[in-house]
Amino acid sequence: MAGPSPVSPLAPKSVPAMPKIAGVKLATAAAGIRYKDRTDVLLVLLDPGTTAAGVFTRSKCPSAPVEWCRDRLKGAKPRALVVNSGNANAFTGKTGRQACQFTAQIAARAIGCKPADIFLASTGVIGEPLKAQAFDGVMDKMVGAARAEPWLDAAKAIMTTDTFPKVATARAKLGNATVTINGMAKGAGMIAPDMATMLSFVFTDAPIGARALQALLSEGVTDTFNAVTIDGDTSTSDTLMMFATGAAAELGAPRIASAGDKRLAAFRKALNAVLADLAEQVARDGEGARKLVEITVEGAVSKPSARRVAMSIANSPLVKTAIAGEDANWGRVVMAVGKAGEPADRDRLSIWFNGIRVAHKGARDPSYDEATVSKAMKSPTIALKVALGLGRGSDRVLTCDLTKEYVAINGDYRS
Amino acid sequence: MAGPSPVSPLAPKSVPAMPKIAGVKLATAAAGIRYKDRTDVLLVLLDPGTTAAGVFTRSKCPSAPVEWCRDRLKGAKPRALVVNSGNANAFTGKTGRQACQFTAQIAARAIGCKPADIFLASTGVIGEPLKAQAFDGVMDKMVGAARAEPWLDAAKAIMTTDTFPKVATARAKLGNATVTINGMAKGAGMIAPDMATMLSFVFTDAPIGARALQALLSEGVTDTFNAVTIDGDTSTSDTLMMFATGAAAELGAPRIASAGDKRLAAFRKALNAVLADLAEQVARDGEGARKLVEITVEGAVSKPSARRVAMSIANSPLVKTAIAGEDANWGRVVMAVGKAGEPADRDRLSIWFNGIRVAHKGARDPSYDEATVSKAMKSPTIALKVALGLGRGSDRVLTCDLTKEYVAINGDYRS
């Protein structure tokens, strides 16, 4: 890996104070998986009675931990989550499956539970064997040291080329009780829909059954993590997991068995806000990113059609390099609309950059003024809006610009 | 546009001597469309009796000249082709259609034919009105100056960010006569399948009917231009046209009405060689390219499946930046295979870089030696082979690496 990059200029100005979540304790350690002088293992202890849900990469070549988690979700009684950075344990064959088994055994022995109760995630280099023995030396100590507070340390331990740790928190009323939702994520490169982050974990004390939790998470991901793309590359390791300890039942929160339960309204809103916040932070920390780009497509024949057009724009290297160059190059936007394969009519197309209409009904806007537009493009956030003029479908995705730094970061990641 | 880039290190070492083609005359001029101190208009005069065929972008937002050519292909009696660089006349609305009409009128008047007999192509900036009046001052002179020889000048006049002109030639027996095929292309950026070059024109003296010519061209494009991708971005202007003057009939070449005619065997082979040569030159001149990358996928369930996997690899920014960094990062290849959505089994996957097997059956090759592989990655040509181990489908595509220069070129193209 290259030396640490400076913090993204798009990083949030402040980090929220992360409250405790009853039933959740965290510990980190430096196991020396790949990095020197930094933590690279996270252990999250979960009280008995915790439920779990997960959404994973749709890659046909998923990592060993993704397969491990998928296999264990049904009927799971989660007691811990172990995450390491530096090595993704992906494309590691039989050795990779053995490394999962071994890691789960080490954690289960230290905690006093079954290996099947341990969830695993790994991020980092693909194709190198993961030396799971390294966890053996740190696990007992981590179990002893786990506390309710160190959320930011946890988010730091799972970083790879991320330039800042990503956390978010929200509270919501569930019945008469106030429940808490804490989340963390790591992203940076290899970020595309079909799970847009490599790793994200969300925790709550709300007493929500596994099936309802899964439904909430699956529906929440569509317009948050799945609406973010950095480079169109889908990781083998993308993992979003959510754990609900149920501890808020003691505060009077009702036990929820179905995602259709009307009492979930505030919780659903808070959860979606946490997911959206984390997803946006992933976009703000895209490798080499200098601009956060929000792409809105209106007037499409449907929302899925609008999403595909928006993603075609968001993944176009020519659009992304133009934005890096602070060039309101609407011609390349037209190109990206055209190649999406969705219904579009050149002569009805209008395009805005940061509120300035630069193209209207298939040609340059008559009032186009280069100086005004150039000034607007200097902003670190770019709102690119496309109106197709065909129907009522609209959607929104987030991405970032494509800079020389992206190429530099990815041209010598392994060396 | 930024200043001229140095010639690509991947440029062919020699340029073929381009023979004359009876019935074809060429002239170039500097009309000042966008560039200073260089030619930017090409006029190709075609003798009466010439037939035409074309393959165009599948973009839903095609340029005005693409629509013009499509509309005129059926029953065409082509007398000339006018190509300009510097402005693509794309996303220019009604003005764009008028510019086409006006250009065709100017050329038709100078030649003495109908505007409908003129074919048009434009390449360059999108979204800016094309000032077709500029052609008015140069057209008469070009008609007078047109000669059979200046093929290389013609290829230079249609360049945009290309760093070298692209020409190819071949001869073939048709009956007892020898016929000639000459081609030129311009490429560089916004290159992806569904027509992989922005502009390419092929000429022959063979007497081939329009329907047969169209069939030959359409079938020839699949494994040549459509198997090349630079950045996955499909241009609004992609145009490949072929013109057959029929002049070789006087040498005794038989008139061909059907692409199924067995006498076409040698001609078909020669045509495909010209198309493949031009397509490879486009890949060799990808914006900022430092390495030519040939991606071969074997053992897929079908050829189309192999093509989709190969394109997923070829368009992955992470694979392309790794190759730019001379890093045999097979993990990213696995990622790209996985995200293609095609049948793949991680545990059967093998990967080679320049003949060295780096991964086998879902894990790092046991004989992997970093030093040997690193040395192989320094080559300017990289052969990346993936064996899926599922079936007999195989395919091959060409691309190039993704470098900081690509970002630099596209970050200030308009400024």
Q: Which of A94, A346, A411 sits opposite B91 (nearest CB)?
A: A346
Across residues B304-309, what is the average pLDDT? 94
Q: Which residues of B touch A336 (CB under 8 A)?
A: 233
Among A292-306, A329-343, B18-32, B211-225, where is mean pLDDT lowest?
A: A329-343
Q: How far apart are CA B169 and CA B181, in angstroms?
A: 6
Among B176-190, B267-281, B367-381, where is mean pLDDT lowest?
A: B176-190
Nearest to A37 by CA among A15, A82, A83, A4: A4
Does residue A312 belong to the interface with chain B, where contact is any CB pair within 8 Å? no
Q: Min CA distance, A259 vs chain B (Å)?
A: 30
Q: Which residues of A touch B128 (CB under 8 A)?
A: 331, 364
Q: What is the pLDDT of residues B43-59, one digit of tens each?
A: 999 999 999 999 998 88
Q: How far is CA A365 from the centre of its chain?
A: 37
Does residue A389 belong to the interface with chain B, where contact is any CB pair within 8 Å? no
Across residues B287-299, what is the average pLDDT? 92
Binary contact (A346, B60; C-beta < 8 A) = yes
Q: Which residue has the higher pLDDT, B343 or A187?
A: B343
Across residues B280-304, what is the average pLDDT? 91
Surface-to-core class of residue B75, CB atoms within 10 Å of its CB (0-12 exposed, 13-18 middle, 19+ buried): exposed
Q: What is the dihedral of CA A93, A98, A99, A104, to 10 degrees?
A: 140
The secondary element (H helix, E strand) that includes residue A271 is helix A265-284
Residue B338 pLDDT > 90: no
Told to judge if B28 belongs to the known catalytic residues of this protein, a careful annotator would answer no
What percentage of chain B carries pLDDT values higher than 70? Answer: 94
Residue type, B209: G
pLDDT value, residue A189: 57
Residue B190 pLDDT > 60: no
Among A30-34, A98-102, B209-213, B338-342, where is mean pLDDT lowest?
A: B338-342
Across residues B286-304, what is the average pLDDT? 92
Q: Are B227 and B308 in contact (CB under 8 A)?
A: no
Residue B192 pLDDT > 60: no
- Tell me which residues of chain A have a pLDDT lower than 70: 1-5, 188-197, 230-234, 412-415
Options B28, B197, B224, B236, the catalytic residue: B197
Surface-to-core class of residue B74, CB atoms within 10 Å of its CB (0-12 exposed, 13-18 middle, 19+ buried): exposed
Q: What is the pLDDT of residues B228-278, one digit of tens each?
A: 876 666 677 889 999 999 999 999 999 999 999 999 999 999 999 999 999
Among A239-248, B72-81, B335-344, where is mean pLDDT lowest?
A: B335-344
pLDDT value, residue B188: 64
Task: Give every strand in the sheet of B381-387, ordered side by side.
Answer: B363-364, B356-360, B350-353, B381-387, B292-300, B393-400
pLDDT value, residue B5: 66
Q: Which residues of B touch A408 (CB under 8 A)?
A: 404
φ/ψ region of B275 (left if φ > 0, alpha if ψ in -120 to 50, else beta) reads alpha
Q: How far apart are CA B292 and CA B275, in angstroms?
A: 17
Does residue B93 belong to the interface with chain A, where contact is any CB pair within 8 Å? yes
Q: How far apart are CA A299 and CA B55, in angstroms?
A: 30
Across residues B185-198, what is the average pLDDT? 58
Binary contact (A190, B349; C-beta < 8 A) = no
Which residue of A56, A57, A59, A403 is the best one to mutate when testing the B interface, meaning the one whose CB has the most B CBs within 10 A?
A59
Among A211-220, B185-194, B298-307, where is mean pLDDT lowest?
A: B185-194
Supply the mean pLDDT for chain B. 90
Q: How far apart are CA B42 and CA B47, in angstroms?
A: 16
Which residue of B123, B226, B287, B318 is the best one to mutate when testing the A interface, meaning the one whose CB has the most A CBs within 10 A?
B318
- Provide the 3-class DSSP secondary structure of residue A181: strand
Residue carrying structure tokens 């537009």: A373
For residue B371 the two structure tokens come to 């030093």
DSSP B306: H
pLDDT value, residue B196: 36
Which residue intervals of A286-364 are DSSP H helices? 303-314, 317-324, 330-339
pLDDT value, residue A194: 41
Does residue B331 belong to the interface with chain A, where contact is any CB pair within 8 Å? yes
Which residue of A291, A321, A409 is the best one to mutate when testing the B interface, meaning the one whose CB has the most B CBs within 10 A?
A321
Predicted TM-score of the model (pTM): 0.81
Among B18-22, B163-167, B275-279, B328-332, where is mean pLDDT lowest?
A: B328-332
Does residue B211 belong to the interface with chain A, where contact is any CB pair within 8 Å? no
Q: What is the pLDDT of residues B112-159, one digit of tens each?
A: 999 999 999 999 887 788 999 999 989 999 999 999 999 999 999 999
pLDDT value, residue B105: 97
Does residue B321 belong to the interface with chain A, where contact is any CB pair within 8 Å? yes
Options A50, A161, A163, A197, the catalytic residue: A197
Q: How far apart are CA B63 and CA A335, in angstroms?
A: 10
Across residues B308-312, what is the average pLDDT? 93
Question: What domains lie within chain A, and their CATH numbers?
Answer: 24-284 (3.60.70.12), 292-411 (3.10.20.340)
pLDDT value, residue B412: 62
